[in-house]
Structures are given as structure tokens and as C-alpha cells.
Amino acid sequence: MQFLNALMVLATEEGGESGGGLSLVLPHPEELIAGILAFLIVFFFVWRKALPTINKTLEARQQAISGQLSEAEESKREAESLLTDYRAQLAEAKSEGNRIIEEARTAGEQLKADVVARAEEEAAQILDKAREEAGNEKTRALAEARREVGQISVGLAEKIVGESLDDKMQQDLIDRYLADLERL
Amino acid sequence: MAQVILAASECDVVNEVICAPANVNELFEFPTIFTIGGFEVTRTIILMFLAAFVAVGILYFGLRKQQLVPTKFGAAVEGMVGFVRDGIARDVIGPEGTKYLPYLMAMFFFLLVGNLFEVTPLINFPITSRMAIPAFLALVTYVIFMFVGFARNNFRYLLDTIWPKAVPIGLRWLVGLIELFSIFILRPITLAVRLFANMVAGHLMLTLLLTSGVIFVAAIPEIGVKGTIGVFWFGLGLFMFLLEILIGVLQAYIFTLLTAIYIESSIHFEH
Amino acid sequence: MEGNIEALVGPLSLVGYGLGAIGPGIGIGIVAGNAITAMARQPEMQGTIRTTMFLGIALTEALALIGFVLFFIASAG
């Protein structure tokens, strides 16, 4: 800089305004003063006004962004919890449905089993009754047949013998006869 | 533009192939418009204040409302502010960079507007092509990194620069000399001249090519076929115009980045 | 013009600047090329490499910039 200053002194001594290229290279005092003032205007504006403003703006924006971020985070969390709820409800509904179907199936099977059991029982009853009746019928028929055979035999024997036997003798005869008959 | 038109009227389209002013300063120095107490106000000085107000206006309207969802313009300004803050101050200097952020931010926006004045219609003059602004900013940067260097490292800053212990002893004096020259003298000068030279070269190219183009095309009835060279000059000028937009942004970035790098190298001074 | 050494000062300083720009041109090419190679090899180090690259370019460019200024000073004669 001292070099330049020396040159400047040299130039002004020589009347640098009228000279050739030298006055181009050296600063003119008026322009130097004007340049310094102009720069100071910008400098003080930047220092006092622009930088505090931009710092504040950036800070506010940062806060707003971080606020929005946390908000978004919260809504995301909310949505997630909602989703979990829905999932749980869905699963519950599904298991409920399964349970109902299972119940219905069990009930149906039970019903089927009941019906079959009742039918079997009824059938068995009917069979028993029929068998019993058949047995009764057989006994009665046997007794009937025995009586009739006796009476017929006695009647036949009376006719043959020609005499009527008293009741006691008649019964004995019949029994003996029947025993023989059975032995046969 | 007055200067350019003046140069145009002097242009000898018959004998020359491109219009160049007799003195380069014609393109960079403007006549005094009015005087306030001996202070000569030229177009350049008005443009410097205009650049300051444009930079302030961009920042003011871009960051005015504390909107959570910014407009397109606001988002663009916020992007640039964030770029200087994160891409330059924090990435290069580290957490300490916040301390230098006002300076870096003001520098970036002022230089950006000043550089882009070159391609702004009706202005077409980069105020950074006057040595005053680059020299002043480079001087401030120089003072800052010198002050930080001595405040952090006492006189080790100077001694270790001259006598670097990390270098083999035979080479120490040479490396020390180069480092001393580079840090204490070359850094501020190149910082200022880099910006200045880029903008001067850009402005020279643009004005010469575009005005030559217009003048030669306008002179086609007089000089015939030779005037068609103006089309070529004008086309080249348009290409340079696009290139200058890129250079304007890049130089503002590099100036700010180098300032940050120099400050960082003074904070973390190791040799 | 003939025999007038003064008239040569302007063109000579142009040639001088042209010569002075060769070295930095090559140097910046080397710096940038190697920085690109390094970035391609280790993309995670991009920030550091870019910073160092600009520092290197700034150092290399110094000569060209001094040449630029000297051109104007010399042509002012």
C-alpha cells in the first residue's frame, strides 16, 4: 500500500489527471472518499439491520419447521395408534366370527347327534314293544292252543271212552296226556 | 455514454479497423457535473452512491418481511446471504467467521452491484474499475488480517513468517523472504489490482467492441463493404457482454473469498 | 516518429505485459488442473481444495497483475 501511496503522491505532483495510464491505476481522492462513504452505508446497513433480520427470520423459520415436524410426528403417531386399534378390532371381529362359526358347527353336530340318538332310542323302543307284544301273543297263543288241544283231546277221548270223566280226573288226564305229548 | 459518443465522433472509419480513444482515460474519467464545497462530483461518484443504495435496497426488500415462505426475490436474496454466510464465512474461517460476517457480506453485495453496473443498461460503467473501491477494500482487509495476525500470535506472526521452522534450514531464508513479500506486500496489492484489472479490461473490451460495431455498421453507406466488420465487432461485443456478467459475479466472489482466506490464515497461523 | 524512442514505449510495454502473462497463464492452468484432479479423486474434500486452489491462483496471478499495472505506468511514460 505504501508503494501505491508513494505513486499516488508522485502522480498528483505530476498532475495525474492529464497523464496517460498512471491516473487510471491510482485512486482519485474524490472517488476514494465517495467510495468509502458508499461502502460504509452498505456496511452499517448490513451490520445493524440486515444480519439481525436474517438471523431472526432464519430462527423463526427453523422453529416453524421444527414445530411442523413435531406436529407431523404427532399426527403420524396418532394415525399409527388408530391403525393399531383398527387392526385389533379387525382381529377381534375375525375371531368372533370364527367363534360363532365354531359354535354353530358344534351346535349343529350336537343337534345331529341328539336326533340320531333319539331316533335310535325310539327305534329300540319300538322294537322292544314289538318283541314284547310278539312274546305275549305267542304265550297267549300257546296257552290257547294248549287249552284247545286239551279240550279237543278230552272231547275226543269222551267220545271214544263214552263216559264222562269228573272234572278232577279229566284235568289229570289232560295234564298227563299233554306231558306225554310234550315228551314226544 | 457521453464519453463513448464523443469518442465515436472522432473515430476515423476510413483508415481504422476499430475505434479506440486516443487516451484510455477517456473511457474511465468523466467531467465534473457539479461541485459541493470544492468536492468535485462526477458521474462515477454518483454511481458509487447509487450502487450503495441499490445494494441496501436489495437487502432491504429481499429480507424485509419475516416471511416463513419467502417470495422468489426474497428467496434469491436469502440464497446469496446464505451463500456468503455458510459458503464463505463459516466454511473458510470457521465458527469465528460470524464476527467478520458484516464486513464480508457488505463487501460482497457492494462489489456485486458495482461489478454488475457494467452490464446494467443506461449505466454501463463498473465503479469497481476505478481504483478507489478495490484499493480501499483491500486496505481494510489488509488492516484486519494484520491486526488479527499480530493480536493472535504476537510477534511470532512476523518472526515465524521470516523464519519458518517447518522448512529445512537451508531453504528457510528463501521461503521466509518469499512468504514475507507475499503476505505483507503482494496480498493487498494483488487483491485490489485483480478486481480493478478485470473490470477495466472488461469495460474496455465492451465499450470498444460495441461502439465500434455500431459506428461501423452505421457507416456502411459511406465506406461500403468495410463497414460489415462492425457486425463482427458487435457480435464479439455481445459475447463479451455475457462473459462480463459471469466475471462480475466471479470477481465479487473471489474478492470476498480471498478476504476470508487471508483472515483465516492469520487466525490459524502455523509455520 | 523516425528515430523517436519515445514512440516505442507504449508498444514495448504491451509486449512486456504479454511476456509477463505467459508464466501466470501456465501456472494457473497447473493449479486449476491439479485441483480438478484432486476434487475428482476426493469429492468430500471439495471445499478445502477449492479454497486452496483460489489461494494458489491468487499467488500465481500476482505476477500477471503486477504486469498489468506496470503496463499502464510504463505507457504513461
pLDDT attached to residue B227: 80
pLDDT attached to residue B32: 79
- Got the DSSP string for chain B? -HHHHHHHHH--TTT-SS---SSGGGGT-----EEETTEEE-HHHHHHHHHHHHHHHHHHHHHSS--SS--HHHHHHHHHHHIIIIIIIIIII-GGGGGGHHHHHHHHHHHHHHHHGGGSTTT---GGGSTHHHHHHHHHHHHHHHHHHHHHHTTHHHHHHHS-TTS-HHHHHHHHHHHHHIIIIIHHHHHHHHHHHHHHHHHHHHHHHHHHHHHHHHTHHHHGGGGGHHHHHHHHHHHHHHHHHHHHHHHHHHHHHHHHHHHHHHHT---
- Name residue B40's beta-bridge partners: B35
User: Is A36 in a helix, a strand, or coil?
Assistant: helix
Q: Which chains touch C (3 or more CB pairs under 8 A)?
A: A, B
Contact B190 C55 (CB under 8 A): no
pLDDT attached to residue C1: 46
Domain that holds residue C53: 19-76
Nearest CA in chain B to C70: B193
Q: How many domains does chain B have?
A: 1
pLDDT at A2 over 50: no
- How does pLDDT run across B88-130, given as a tens digit for each residue? 888 888 888 888 999 999 999 999 999 999 998 888 899 999 8
Domain that holds residue B80: 2-13+26-267
Q: Is residue C64 part of a domain?
A: yes
pLDDT attached to residue A79: 93
What is the ipTM for the molecules in this complex? 0.87
Instruction: For residue C31, give the CATH number of its domain.
Output: 1.20.20.10
Q: Is residue B223 part of a domain?
A: yes
pLDDT at A62 over 60: yes
Kindly indicate the confidence band of residue B9, based on its pLDDT and cuts at 50, 70 and 90: low
Q: Which chains touch A (3 or more CB pairs under 8 A)?
A: B, C
pLDDT at B23 over 80: no
The mean pLDDT of chain A is 82
pLDDT (average), residues B78-89: 88
Share of chain B above pLDDT 90, in %: 29
Q: Is residue C54 part of a domain?
A: yes
Rounded Cα gap, residues B266 and B82, in angstroms:
24
Q: Is residue C9 part of a domain?
A: no
Domain ranges (residues) in chain A: 2-183
**Is A178 part of the contact surface with chain C (CB cutoff 8 Å)?**
no
Rounded Cα gap, residues C19 and C63, in angstroms:
11
C69 contact residues in A (CB cutoff 8 A): 25
Q: Is residue B21 part of a domain?
A: no
pLDDT attached to residue B66: 59
pLDDT at B14 over 80: no
pLDDT attached to residue B222: 79
pLDDT (average), residues B9-27: 71
Q: Is residue B200 part of a domain?
A: yes
- How does pLDDT run across B188-222, given as a tens digit for each residue? 988 998 999 889 888 988 888 888 888 888 888 87
- How does pLDDT run across B164-196, given as a tens digit for each residue? 888 888 888 888 888 888 888 888 988 998 999
Kindly indicate the confidence band of residue A10, based on its pLDDT and cuts at 50, 70 and 90: very low
In angstroms, the separation between the Cα of residue C23 and the nearest Cα of chain B is 16
CB atoms inside a 10 Å sphere around CB C22: 11
Contact B257 C69 (CB under 8 A): no
Q: Is residue C55 part of a domain?
A: yes
Contact B92 C54 (CB under 8 A): no
Kindly indicate the confidence band of residue A99, based on its pLDDT and cuts at 50, 70 and 90: very high
Q: How many domains does chain C have?
A: 1
Contact B254 C55 (CB under 8 A): no
